[in-house]
Amino acid sequence: MRVLLLNPPSRQVVIRDYLCSKTTKSNYVFHPIDLVVLSGLVAAHHAVEVLDAIAERLTPEEAHARVRGAAPDVVIALVGSVSWAEDRTFLAAVARHARVLALGDVLHEASEQLMSAESWLEAAFHRFASDDVPRYLAGERSQLEDVTLRTPSGPQRIRTAKGAREYHIPRPRHELFPARGYHFSFARRTPFATLLTDYGCPYPCTFCVIGTLPYRTRPVADVFEEVDHLRTRGVRELFVMDQTFGVNEGRGITLARGFAERGDLSWTTFTRPDTATDALLAAMVSGGCHTVIMGIESGDAAVLAATKKGYTLDEVAAGVARAKRHGLRVVGTFVVGLPGETHGSLERTLQRALDLDLDFMSLNVAVPRFGTPFRREVLRAGLADAAELSMDQSGSAAFLPTTALTREEVARAKRRLNLRFYLRPGYLWRRLRDVRSPRELARQTAEGFALLRRNLAARDGSSVQ
Ligand code: SF4
């Protein structure tokens, strides 16, 4: 079969991946990891092409022309709640020429009802690092892990197999993705590639969809086959998209040592302040890691505890300090607007971001992501509408009120925190000194202005719902 892996077009620059979707906060667009993984799985059995209309900034008309030119039998498309209205219109038109399968956050919950209303959609997939897609394409209906199918009695979500603890995927076909159009704020060099060495996350954080997926690891040998292939293509910079690199310390150190043996890689990844031990961080730095993204979430002890992150403010401070001692840049991610949020807790969050001496701050607004315990909680409390499928997980528009703050107050607070963090003369000077090449300077300047534009535009009310 001819299979087209499709990231559909959108008016905005959107990121749809890993059962999340959002508008880009500054300028970044990285490779959609679901399609990267599927490129290996599907190419083992079929002729595969990739069309990333976001990276290529295609209009719907241009993207339609490219889809028709590819003449696929099957299109496997990403969809997202951030662009759901556009996605369903575009894919309904694609379905006149090809079978359409899809995956994305908006299908992660109540997929049977949704498929009843969307006749263009043949099946919805709820896992991408599994054999579900190749099995389904081969006509196998047993042993599917988690797929919503059309049956004679209507759409039905089938969960028949648990899946092994370790998953194997044939080498992802990075060469099928556009050579240009991807940007990653923390990359030190270009080109960069996005890769995954594990899947899901073993932690139960209430607001996070990744924690609802079964945690699995990929054989280390498979990871290095992929890395070495990327190196033959001249790629030395990686975004290792594992949600908690080194969740198993021994495996993390083994991976980091493998990177070190290659001697020419530099990379960014996510990790947790409590699991990032000195031994792990030392191995990561030797392996070329230069930036870690850590979930700080809140500077308020009660708000943090309610997320079930499983660490305290002191553990966060110790983890960040450890990473910085090892010479890593630390990006702190925060969620504002969680149910217990108040003006006071937001002030403590800002103070914490400043005290931790973070290199970057990434602010997200709490949104009820599909399939999460947080979503169930806010629906129960009547703070959100279950029928509302469109949302932007970047928080460009504040989605929820809290018990003490209105939606507009949450939105205003987010903008204020961003501006107060980034527009400090000392901070800007430090950023400038950290830049290693004219190209990195140009990229960071563009990212900074994009972030500023978004926050100032929102201050004028243009993106506040
Ligand atoms: S540790 Fe990170 S990836 Fe894992 S569930 Fe919590 S927020 Fe999600």
| pLDDT tens track for 336-389 | 888 788 999 999 998 999 999 899 999 888 888 888 998 888 888 887 888 777
CA of 452 to the centre of ligand 1 (A): 27
Percent of the chain with pLDDT over 90: 69
How much distance in Å is there from the Cα of 429 to the middle of ligand 1?
32
Place of tokens 């979930």: 295
Cβ(205) – ligand 1 distance below 6 Å: yes
Burial class of 178 by CB neighbour count within 10 A (0 to 12, 13 to 18, 19+): middle
Interacting residues of 262 by C-beta distance below 8 A, sequence separation 6+ = 227, 228, 231
DSSP code at position 44: T
Which pLDDT score, from 0 to 100, does residue 393 have? 62
Task: Tell whether ligand 1 has an atom less than 6 A from the beta carbon of residue 395.
Answer: no
Residue 225 has pLDDT above 60, yes or no: yes
- pTM for this prediction: 0.91
User: How far apart are the CA of 364 and the centre of ligand 1, in A?
Assistant: 14
CA 376 to CA 388: how far, in whole Å? Answer: 14
Q: Which atom of ligand 1 is nearest to the CA of 309?
A: 6
Closest residue CA from atom 5 of ligand 1: 211
Q: What separation in Å is there between the alpha carbon of 243 and the centre of ligand 1?
A: 7
211 Cα nearest atom in ligand 1: 5
Residue whose CA lies nearest to ligand 1 atom number 3: 243
Report whether residue 243 contacts ligand 1, using a CB cutoff of 6 Å.
yes
H/E element holding 158?
strand 154-158
* 228 Cβ contact list (under 8 Å, min separation 6): 262
CB neighbour list of residue 425: distance below 8 Å, 6 or more residues apart: none
Separation between Cα atoms, residue 262 and residue 231, nearest integer Å? 9
Instruction: Give the model confidence (pLDDT) of 400-453 as tens digits.
Output: 777 778 888 888 888 888 888 988 888 888 888 888 887 777 777 777 776 666
Pairing of strands 289-297, 216-217: unpaired
Q: Where are the beta strands (DSSP E) in 233-365?
A: 237-240, 266-271, 289-297, 329-336, 360-365
Cβ atoms of 188 and 30 within 8 Å: the answer is: no
Choose which residue among 240, 241, 244 to substitute to test ligand 1 binding: the one with the highest number of ligand atoms within 8 A of its C-beta: 244
Task: Give the pLDDT confidence of 62-88 residue by residue, as tens digits.
Answer: 999 999 999 999 999 999 999 999 999
pLDDT in tens, 237-246: 999 999 999 9
Ligand 1 atom index nearest CA of 208: 8
Under 8 Å between Cβ of 126 and 212: no
